[in-house]
Structure 1
Amino acid sequence: MTMLKAIKNWIEVRIGLDELVRDQLTEYRIPRNINLFYSLGTVAIAAFSIQVLTGIVLLVYYVPHPDHAFKSVQGIMMDVPYGWLFRQVHAVGSNLLVIVVALHMLSVFFMKSYAKPREMTWLVGFAMLLLTLTFCLSGYLLPWSQLSYWATTIVTNMPTAFPYIGDYLTEFQRGSSQVSGATLGRFFALHVMLLPALLVMLLGIHLFLIRRIGISRPPFGPGGQERVEWTQFHHESYPDGMPFYPHYIAKEVFMIMVYLSAMFFIIAFLPTLFSPADANIPADPFKTPAHIKPEWYFLAPYQMLRVIPSKFLGITLQMIAITVLFFWPFLDRKEERNILKRPVLLGGFIGALLVWIGLTIWGNF
C-alpha cells in the first residue's frame, strides 16, 4: 500500500489527478432527464474497441492474398485456440456496430441534439457513420469467400450508374476491371491502416466537441423546453444535474452489458445469422451464386437501384438524401426541439425509416 500511495502521490504532484477526477467525473453534472439513448455513443466506442482488439488477433494469422486468404480464415476458425471465438466476435460485432451507430444517429436526430451550437458534432458523427459502413465494406471482402466476393462485386458496381466517371470510380475501387487480388490488397490496407486512423481522429474530434460544448438536454421532460441564446461560446452546464459518476456511468455500463449479451446470444444460438452457407465456400470469380446480394446494411440502396428504372436517377436520389442529412443542422432552422410537436418532421422521420426498413426487407428476397 505504501508503494501504491507513493506512486499515486507522484502522479498527483505532476498532473493533479484528484482534481481531474473531480472535474471530469464526480463533480461533472449532466441533465437529470437524460435517457439511455445518450449512452449509445459510449456503447459504440466500446464496440469499436472490441473490433480493434479482435482484429489485432485475427491480423496475426490472416494472409491477405487471394490464394491464401480463405484458407487462413478457415485455419483461424479450426486450428487457432479460440480463433473461432475471436472471429465470431469480430464478425458479429461489425454488424452490431452498424446498428448501434445508426441508432445513435437516429436518437440524435429525434431529440434534435444537432441544433446550434452542435452542428460540427453532427457533421463529425455523420462522417463517422459513413466511415463505419466503409469499414464494414472493406472488411467484408477479406475472408475471400463466395459471399464476400460477389457481395463486394455488387456494391463496388454501384458507381457505374454515374455517367462518364462511373466506370473509372469502380475500377479505382477495385484496382482492376473486376474484383481481384488487387482489390483484396486495397481493401486490406484500407481496413487495417487508413480507416482506423481516420476513425480515431474523428472520434477524438467528436469527444472534444461533446466535452467542450457540453451534453445537450433532452427535449422531453423537466427543463426540456428551456431555450438558451447562443450569441457567444460558453460551456453548457447543469449545476442542478446529476453527477456523471457514478450515476450515468452505471447506465453506460448497463448498456454495454446489453450489447455484449446480444453479441454472445447471437454467437451461441444464431451463429449463422451473419454467415450463410456461401460464407464457407472459397471465392470463385467464374461461378456466380444464385440470389447473391450485398450485406444487409447495403440492401436498401441496392433494392432502390433495382426498383428505379434509371440507375443514374437512383444513385442521384441516394446522394441527395445523404447530402441533405449531412447538412441537416443548417437546413432545420425551427426553434422547436420536441419533434412530437412538429408533425410534418415526425411524419417524414417515421416515413423515411419505414421506407428504409421496407427496402431492406424487400432486397433480402
Structure 2
Amino acid sequence: MKQRTKVIIDTDVDFDDYMAIVYLMQNPEVEVIAISVTGCGAVHLNKGVANVANLLTLFGKDALSLPVLRGAKAPMRYSNVFPADVRTGADDHYAAEFPGINPTPQIHDAQTWLRDFFLNNDDKVTLLSIGGGTNFGNLFLTTQSDDVLKQKILSGLEQIVMMGGNLLPRYISPGAMGNIEPTLGDNIIYRNTVAEWNIFVDPLGAQTMFEFGVPIRLIALNATNDVPLDQSFVDDLKAINTPQAQFLSAVLAYPSNAAGIGTYLSFWDPLAACTITDPSLVTTDIYKLIVWQELDEEDDQSASLVVDTLNGAPIEVAVAASKDAVYAEFLRVLSLPLPDTK
C-alpha cells in the first residue's frame, strides 16, 4: 500500500480554505497531521481556531484529536487586512453548520508545537500554505539563532505547496494582475493592482518562506485564473450526498460567496491542495523571485512578485491549470468514503 503523504495545513479559514481542508481530510492518499490557524487573513484568530476544531466533527471520532495550532494575530510587516464583511463571513463559518461541537479540541500554541514537532520527528511532511506566510515566517525567523532547529526543519519539511502571488504581464504572457481591489471595493485606501491577497497580508512572511531553502511550489493566480468557480461545479458538488460535500455546498451558498460563483471566484486554495497528490494538474516553470516589500501610497507595488535573477529564490510557479481535470479530481475525492485512519 502506498504510503500516505503527511501534510500540515496552514490556513486563514476562508471559504476556499474549507474546500482545501475537506479535500485533504477526505483524501485516502493524505494524512493531515496538524492544522495551524492564522488570524492575519480572512478569519479572526479565536474564531478560526474554534471553527477548525469544530470542522473536525465532519470526519469522525478519530479526527477530533487532530492538533489545531493557534498562530499569529498580526503579520510580520504592515497591517493589511480583509474588509470587515469578509471577516464577518469567515468568523461565522459562512452560516454552514458543523455536525457538532468538538468535545475534546487539541489546541496548541503554533510556534511551540511546530518547534517541538520538527525537533522530535523524523517524518517527511508537506506544508500546504493557504493563509499567508506569517506562522511559518515566524518559525523560520527563529532558526536564525537555532541552527539545530533549522537543519531539522530543512530535513523534515519535504516541500511547501503555497497558494499565493501572481506573475505580472511583464514577466509572462498573458500574465495575471492582482486580486486586491475587487475584494476591497469602496474600502480602497491606496491603489494596489499587482498583489495577491495571501502575500499582500504579510509580504515579509512570504519572503521569509521563499528564502528559507525548502522547495516551494507556488500556485499563482496565473494558474487559478484557469479554474474559475463555476455553477456547474457547484451543482455537481451539491449532488454528492455526503456530510462533507453538503457542508461545502452550504459554505458556497453564503450570499457573498454565491455572488462570486461564475464571476470573480476561483479555485484558489483547493487547487493548491489538489496538486499535493497530483502535480500534473498544473503547468509550472522555475522563476527566481523576491516579494516586493516597499509600500508606496501613490503607486503601491508592495507584495508583488519580482523576477530577480541575481537575488531571487528559485520557486516552482504554477502558470496554468486544467479546469476539467481539477474539477474531476476534487469531485472524485469528495465522493469517496472517509479514509480509514486506523
Q: What band does the TM-score fall into relative to the shorter chain?
A: under 0.3
Instruction: Between the two structures, name the one with larger relative contact order (CA 8 Å, sep ≥ 6).
Output: 1
TM-score normalised according to structure 2 size:
0.23
TM-score normalised according to structure 1 size:
0.22
Looking at secondary structure, tell me which structure has more strand per residue: 2
User: Quick check: which has more Rg, 1 or 2?
Assistant: 1
Looking at secondary structure, tell me which structure has more helix per residue: 1
